[in-house]
């Protein structure tokens, strides 16, 4: 039977803690630029995994909370915090049902996770509920494509890599999620990459613990794609390896 996203991630938490894609990225830096330098009381990362984004707020926030449905991910988060001498709060919960008081958090963030949520609309509504009035809600996530055919091919590759992948949403879908959550978008940037130069498919599959057979199918699908699809997906080839861009969007919104 297919594992749920939290079950899948619980089994491979160590791989994500050791992942260079998750440890740092241009979008984490960009998010800090967009949020500005001010000191904060409380920051919470939803679906934090090993919590690298949450930990990047340690110098700015008095309280850093990480929420994730996978207990082994939360153990990785606590360990990384402990290694850095930081105190954090780890909360096991689903993004769609946050056990956080309403109007309590300055900045609620989530990164590389909503594409796994069963109900992203509900999750964003929960993030908005937990944010203080005047607080910010920010999302960094894999970006889907407005062109349905390109979006479907991207989806096939993602599901082969990780069967718990639900959907990478396009920019227009994300605008709808923010509207439905009653949030006012301040910055909406699409077409970012988590890995300048791209991520080798072999490394992508190593991080995701993708079976060899699925990795073969990813390579076959890319080989069968048209030049237009390859260019549309931002795929490049080097020394017999395929590099994917890990395309993301960054959105920062305010709760009125």
Q: Which listed residue (64, 78, 100, 117) binds ligand SAM by CB under 6 A?
A: 117
Structure-block tokens of residue 55 = 């930990």
Applying CB under 6 A, the site for ligand SAM has a residue count of 23
Smallest separation (angstroms) from ligand SAM to the CB of 188: 19
Q: Which stretch binds ligand SAM (CB under 6 A): 2-10, 55-63, 145-153, 245-253?
A: 2-10
- In the region spanning residues 41 to 60, those forming contacts with ligand SAM, defined by CB under 6 A, are 47-50, 52-53
Is 17 one of the binding residues for ligand SAM (CB under 6 A)?
no
195: closest CA among 133, 142, 117? 142
Smallest separation (angstroms) from ligand SAM to the CB of 138: 12
- In the region spanning residues 183 to 242, those forming contacts with ligand SAM, defined by CB under 6 A, are none
The alpha carbon of 133 is separated from its chain's Cα centroid by a whole number of angstroms, namely: 24
Is 70 one of the binding residues for ligand SAM (CB under 6 A)?
yes
Non-local (6+) Cβ contacts of 43 within 8 A are 54, 57, 60, 61, 63, 64, 65, 105, 106, 107, 108, 109
Smallest separation (angstroms) from ligand SAM to the CB of 239: 27
Q: Are 88 and 77 in contact (CB under 8 A)?
A: yes
Q: How far apart are CA 136 and CA 60, in angstroms?
A: 14
Q: Are 69 and 97 in contact (CB under 8 A)?
A: no
Residue with Cβ nearer ligand SAM (95 or 199)? 95
Backbone angles phi, psi at 36, to 5 degrees: 85, 175
Is 167 one of the binding residues for ligand SAM (CB under 6 A)?
no
Q: How far apart are CA 106 and CA 148, in angstroms?
A: 36
Q: Which listed residue (64, 80, 100, 112) binds ligand SAM by CB under 6 A?
A: 112
Q: Which listed residue (65, 81, 90, 113) binds ligand SAM by CB under 6 A?
A: 113
Measuring CA to CA, how many Å separate 44 from each of 7, 105, 110, 223, 245? 22, 7, 8, 41, 27
Q: Which residues bind ligand SAM (CB under 6 A)?
A: 5-6, 9, 16, 22, 47-50, 52-53, 68-70, 73, 94-96, 111-113, 116-117
């Amino acid at each position: 039977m297919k594992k749920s996203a939290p079950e899948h991630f619980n089994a491979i938490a160590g791989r994500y803690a050791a992942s260079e894609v998750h440890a740092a990225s241009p979008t984490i830096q960009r998010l800090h630029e967009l949020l500005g330098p001010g000191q904060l009381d409380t920051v919470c990362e939803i679906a934090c995994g090993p919590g690298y984004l949450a930990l990047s707020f340690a110098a700015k926030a008095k309280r850093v909370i990480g929420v994730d449905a996978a207990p082994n991910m939360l153990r990785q988060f606590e360990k990384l915090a402990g290694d850095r001498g930081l105190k954090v709060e780890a909360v096991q919960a689903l993004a769609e049902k946050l056990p956080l008081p309403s109007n309590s958090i300055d900045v609620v963030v989530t990164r590389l996770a909503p594409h796994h949520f069963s109900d992203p609309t509900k999750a964003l509504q929960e993030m908005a509920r937990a944010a203080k009035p005047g607080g910010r809600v920010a999302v960094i996530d894999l970006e889907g494509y407005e062109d349905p055919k390109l979006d479907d091919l991207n989806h096939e590759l993602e599901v082969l890599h990780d069967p718990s992948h639900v959907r990478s949403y396009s920019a227009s879908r994300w605008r709808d999620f923010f509207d439905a959550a009653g949030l006012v978008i301040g910055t909406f940037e699409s077409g970012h990459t988590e890995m300048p130069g791209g991520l080798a498919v072999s490394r992508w599959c190593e991080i995701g613990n993708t079976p060899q057979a699925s990795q073969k199918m990813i390579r076959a699908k890319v080989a069968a794609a048209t030049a237009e699809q390859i260019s549309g997906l931002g795929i490049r080839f080097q020394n017999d390896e395929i590099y994917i861009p890990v395309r993301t969007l960054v959105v920062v919104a305010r709760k009125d």
